[in-house]
Chains A and B, each alone.
Chain A
Amino acid sequence: MDATILNLLRDPAGVPFYPVVFQGLYVLTWALHIAFVLLALGSMGLSIYGSTQQKSDSNWKLLTPHLIQTGKLSISILIVLGVAPLLFTQVIYDPNWYTTNALSGIWIFIFIYALIVGYLMYYWYYYANKAGRASNTLIGTISFAILVFCGVLMHNFAVESIQPDKWLAWYAPNGVVDTSGLNFHYDLIRLAFMVSLVIPVLGIFLQNYSDFLSTRKDFTSKYIEFTKKLGTKTAVGGLLVSAVLFILWMLQENMLLSVISLATIAGVVVLLLMAKMNKNSYITTVVLVVVALLISGVREIIRYNLMADHGYNIYTYTMNIDWPSTIMFLLTFLFLGVTGVAFILRMAWKVGKNEGTVFDGQNDKLTRVLGTATLWILVAWMGIYFAWGMFTLFKNTLV
């Protein structure tokens, strides 16, 4: 597929802002999305093991339902966070995304319904475990397998999208058009690396969990120590496996000595040391976020370079700047995004620390201020929305 065709597949409406901004937002939101994908799969996978141990081991009896709850929340969050990179990739890499979707149309459909079945089964697993049913491990395992399968399908879409030289051969092998949408392709090393990240993310989460509960008197020091050790062991082992696979992936892409690849390796080494020492897991998590951003950046550089080799450059996308909608997003992101999420996280932190008593948000100045500010931001937002809408309508229909 040459540059002329790739550029022709771009949307003729152009993009409403600088492409680099969409690229940056893609890298950022993909990193956030994948963090919760990894946490969901990790906590779910370990909970399945826990479900086989919880009858005879008091530590696992406590940890397993917490892991299931973590998985449940993480799936919801990964879905909502996943919407953003899906949106931004369609803006600047629309030729890639839309071709892939058509080539693998049936898998796209299967992906959606597999995700629904997998997540609904996860709730079933949650309730079965809560009720102490013997079938819980089996239900959890099937749900886990379905959700892993969804991850593999997403991998397929990503891998197909960066091989424009093969699109026509996949669509019309030997000149015979195949509209079945059954194309399925994978890159084993890249997939193995992505899946391996489940282990260190889970390990660092367990360290966070242990640190968070260590201030609560209703959890024994024995339990705190158990989760701490488990976290450290998992994080260190997982980081070593991921590091090896990352190097293999970079060798395959011929990028091992690139700046971003070296920076990622350095980040992993720092993470490894921090996880091993486990002095402050919250700081380790900050470094983990940086490494996740670097990995997201590596993916994007691979795609950008591959497409540039085909003569496709996202920075030359036609621009029709649309200031009103751009400003709306930026202000909403800044005001509602920051204040609103901070309001809920503040409550979650306080409730989690409160050892079963009711948290009085009215006596906590920060919660009170954030809650009131969120409410007024939303009221103001609605007011502006209707005023803007009425003005536009009057302008276009009455004047």
Chain B
Amino acid sequence: MDMLGLFPVFYFPEFGTAWLMGITGTIHVLFSHTSVGAAILFAFLAHKAYKEDRADLYVYMKKYGMFLLIFSYVLGSITGPGIWYTATAASPRGISALIHNFVWVWATEWVFFVYEVIGVFALVYFIGKIDRKTHLKLTYTFALASVGTLALIIGIISFMMWPGADAYFTTGSASDAFFGVNTFPHMFLRIGFMIMMSAVIGIFIASAMKKENPPLAQELTKKMGVVAIFGGFMTLFFFMWYINTLPESSHVLLSRLLPGIIMSRLILTGVFTAYFALAIFKPTWIHKSLAASMIVVILVAGLWPGEKLRESLRKPFVAGQYIYSNQIIGRDVPGKGIKSEVEVVAKNGLLKVSPFVPESLRVITPENKLQAGELLAKMACSNCHSLDKNGKYRPLSKLFPMNDKGALVSYMKDVIGTGSVPYMPKIVLPDDEYDAIATWLVEKNK
């Protein structure tokens, strides 16, 4: 009997497991992007402070730096590996594919990361303790190292979307996987967002300094407003380029979602343009509470839907367009000697090829059908769908509320089983396994 390297399933009730990864990822994006953007901003401020002999700017940098240390570096550095952990629990073979293609890229990023984390403490605590020229040199290297971390991770997350060219499938080379057509637009899109985020945080810090140094707070609020406009424009510009470098399968889903995306982005652009204009022209109007609220707006209305969209667009795959979201390998990658597993599953069924299925469930009987159906649904669907009746995350019961088992089996067999929905994995199962899933779902819908 052929067996496959499928891991046990971890399922988080009501929400589904992918949700855990999504929330960790979104928090990480907010803080990691802020930290890279702030590193660039620091280099700019340190340059200005050194050239113009502005002692007051160092005070601002120290305050900003402490904020960064507490939030960006605590939350950012923990949620970074946190994504690994949660992604591993939710999608072990997806993360494994990334690790085994890019281990050296990640190890290189780690070197940058070490420099960055030690560097940020030095940058903040050495203000006033080392001469300004050496400090300036430190800020330049810190900015370059921070951008380096982005330069390294961007190829990996772009590969999650797709390798960007066919070369990777034949060569298996990390370079071909890393530098796809999507990599650079994605990189500059994120740099734009990082610059904008650093300025949004910068406005918050400046607003907190209003009492102790009003002229400096005003000057910096204005400057940050300009920086934010520049970053925001860069984000929008590269977003348009980025959209055009997505794979074919994404465009099917995108064409359905695009009108809603355009509308929500237009509203966000309007709100933030007004906010940044306020910062430039009426800096005294920016109160700390408004500045803090705008950070939350970015997180909730900008990042969360953005990251969810990116996650949806790469479906049915989770990595490199060869690992399906349900952990089954969906195509050959000759360059790495990887073979599609769809046919093995079709021939034997998931229950027989998964090492962690107990013997009592390998053969479906009338007695174990419900139990087998539930396990099959967890294995085949739970990475993207909540299995609980009122689940929050694309619940199966809401997508298929019917009680007609025959209709469910036909849908699974003729639509999902033929790969007719571009954003769904092609799940070909033996008849008894389709039947078990349908039986379980009908029972659930009662």
A359 to B118 alpha-carbon distance, docked (Å): 18
A10 to B11 alpha-carbon distance, docked (Å): 22
Inter-chain contact A329/B104, CB cutoff 8 Å: yes
List which B116-166 residues lie within 8 A (CB) of chain A: 117-119, 121-122, 126, 128-131, 133-134, 137-138, 140-141, 144-145, 147-148, 151, 164-166
* Stretch of A167-175, A219-227, A231-239 lying at the B interface: A167-175
- The main secondary structure of chain A at its interface with chain B is helix
Q: Mark A349-365, 1 if CB is under 8 A from B, else 0.
A: 01100100011111000
Q: Give chain A residues whose Cβ lies under 8 Å from the Cβ of B9.
A: 102, 177, 179
Q: Which of A91, A105, A358 contacts B89 (CB 8 A)?
A: A105
Query: With contacts A11-B96, A16-B103, A340-B115 known, is A347 near B361, CB below 8 A?
Result: no
A328 to B104 alpha-carbon distance, docked (Å): 8
Q: Give chain B residues whose Cβ lies under 8 Å from the Cβ of A347.
A: 122, 126, 130, 134, 138
List which A351-399 residues lie within 8 A (CB) of chain B: 351, 354, 358-362, 367-368, 371-372, 374-375, 378-379, 381-382, 385, 388-389, 392-393, 395-397
Inter-chain contact B358/A336, CB cutoff 8 Å: no
Cβ of B3 within 8 Å of any chain A Cβ, yes or no, is yes
Inter-chain contact B148/A382, CB cutoff 8 Å: yes
A336 to B134 alpha-carbon distance, docked (Å): 18
Looking at the assembled complex, report how far the CB atom of B316 sits from the nearest CB atom of chain A, in whole angstroms: 19
Inter-chain contact A325/B96, CB cutoff 8 Å: no
Inter-chain contact A378/B104, CB cutoff 8 Å: no
Q: Which of B130, B164, B338, B371 contacts A13 (CB 8 A)?
A: B338
List which B173-191 residues lie within 8 A (CB) of chain A: 173-176, 178-181, 183-184
Q: Mark B71-87, 1 if CB is under 8 A from A, else 0.
A: 00111011111101110
Looking at the assembled complex, report how far the CB atom of A210 sits from the nearest CB atom of chain B, in whole angstroms: 22
List which A1-33 residues lie within 8 A (CB) of chain B: 1, 4-5, 8-17, 22, 25
Q: Which of A106, A324, A385 contacts B173 (CB 8 A)?
A: A324
Q: Mark A229-250, 1 if CB is under 8 A from B, else 0.
A: 0000000000000000000000
Inter-chain contact B130/A11, CB cutoff 8 Å: no
List which B13-32 residues lie within 8 A (CB) of chain A: 17, 20, 24
Query: With contacts A112-B86, A375-B137 known, is A91 near B174, CB below 8 A?
Result: no
Query: With contacts A101-B88, A320-B337 known, is A84 near B130, CB below 8 A?
Result: no
Inter-chain contact A179/B77, CB cutoff 8 Å: no
A115 to B110 alpha-carbon distance, docked (Å): 20
Q: Give chain A residues whose Cβ lies under 8 Å from the Cβ of B17.
A: 105
Inter-chain contact B141/A9, CB cutoff 8 Å: no
Inter-chain contact A80/B179, CB cutoff 8 Å: no
A77 to B93 alpha-carbon distance, docked (Å): 29
Query: With contacts A13-B100, A340-B145 known, is A359 near B130, CB below 8 A?
Result: yes
Inter-chain contact A325/B174, CB cutoff 8 Å: yes
Inter-chain contact B144/A382, CB cutoff 8 Å: yes
Inter-chain contact A87/B7, CB cutoff 8 Å: no
Query: With contacts A97-B88, A322-B104 known, is A87 near B74, CB below 8 A?
Result: no
Inter-chain contact A91/B100, CB cutoff 8 Å: yes
Inter-chain contact A15/B100, CB cutoff 8 Å: yes
Inter-chain contact A76/B8, CB cutoff 8 Å: no
Q: Give chain A residues whose Cβ lies under 8 Å from the Cβ of B111.
A: 329, 332-333, 336-337
Inter-chain contact B7/A358, CB cutoff 8 Å: no
Inter-chain contact A171/B356, CB cutoff 8 Å: yes
Inter-chain contact A13/B114, CB cutoff 8 Å: no
Query: With contacts A171-B8, A336-B111 known, is A396 near B165, CB below 8 A?
Result: yes
Cβ of B12 within 8 Å of any chain A Cβ, yes or no, is yes
A177 to B354 alpha-carbon distance, docked (Å): 13
Cβ of B101 within 8 Å of any chain A Cβ, yes or no, is yes
Cβ of B112 within 8 Å of any chain A Cβ, yes or no, is yes
Inter-chain contact A8/B5, CB cutoff 8 Å: yes
Q: Which of A73, A123, A368 contacts B74 (CB 8 A)?
A: A123
- The main secondary structure of chain B at its interface with chain A is helix
Q: How big is chain A's contact interface, by range? A: 35 or more
Number of contacting residues on B, CB 8 A? 102
Query: With contacts A112-B86, A354-B129 known, is A15 near B105, CB below 8 A?
Result: no
Q: Which of B79, B99, B129, B173 contacts A94 (CB 8 A)?
A: B99
Cβ of B209 within 8 Å of any chain A Cβ, yes or no, is no
Query: With contacts A109-B86, A388-B179 known, is A340 near B184, CB below 8 A?
Result: no
Looking at the assembled complex, report how far the CB atom of B186 sits from the nearest CB atom of chain A, in whole angstroms: 12
Cβ of A301 within 8 Å of any chain B Cβ, yes or no, is no
Cβ of A103 within 8 Å of any chain B Cβ, yes or no, is yes
Inter-chain contact B5/A361, CB cutoff 8 Å: no
Cβ of B233 within 8 Å of any chain A Cβ, yes or no, is no
Looking at the assembled complex, report how far the CB atom of B126 sits from the nearest CB atom of chain A, in whole angstroms: 6
Cβ of B70 within 8 Å of any chain A Cβ, yes or no, is yes
Cβ of B50 within 8 Å of any chain A Cβ, yes or no, is no
Q: Which of B4, B121, B181, B360 contacts A397 (CB 8 A)?
A: B181
A351 to B129 alpha-carbon distance, docked (Å): 7
Inter-chain contact A340/B104, CB cutoff 8 Å: no
List which A150-188 residues lie within 8 A (CB) of chain B: 167-168, 171-172, 175-177, 179-181
Give the 10 A-B residue pairs with the shortest CB-CB distance, closest first.
A361-B134, A105-B10, A98-B92, A105-B89, A325-B104, A112-B82, A378-B144, A396-B165, A392-B179, A13-B100
- 12 A-B pairs besides A98-B95, A115-B82, A344-B119 with CB distance below 8 A are A12-B336, A80-B110, A91-B100, A105-B10, A109-B89, A171-B356, A336-B111, A337-B111, A375-B137, A379-B144, A388-B175, A396-B179
Instruction: List 28 A-B residue pairs with CB atoms under 8 Å apart, sorted by A's residue number.
Output: A12-B337, A13-B101, A82-B81, A87-B106, A88-B107, A91-B99, A91-B100, A98-B7, A98-B93, A102-B92, A105-B89, A115-B78, A120-B70, A167-B356, A172-B356, A172-B357, A175-B361, A324-B175, A333-B111, A336-B145, A340-B145, A341-B118, A343-B138, A347-B122, A361-B131, A388-B175, A392-B179, A393-B181
Q: Which residues of A contact B (CB under 8 A)?
A: 1, 4-5, 8-17, 22, 25, 73, 76-77, 79-84, 86-88, 90-91, 94-95, 97-99, 101-106, 108-109, 111-112, 115-116, 119-120, 123, 167-168, 171-172, 175-177, 179-181, 318, 320, 322, 324-326, 328-329, 332-333, 336-337, 340-341, 343-344, 347-348, 350-351, 354, 358-362, 367-368, 371-372, 374-375, 378-379, 381-382, 385, 388-389, 392-393, 395-397
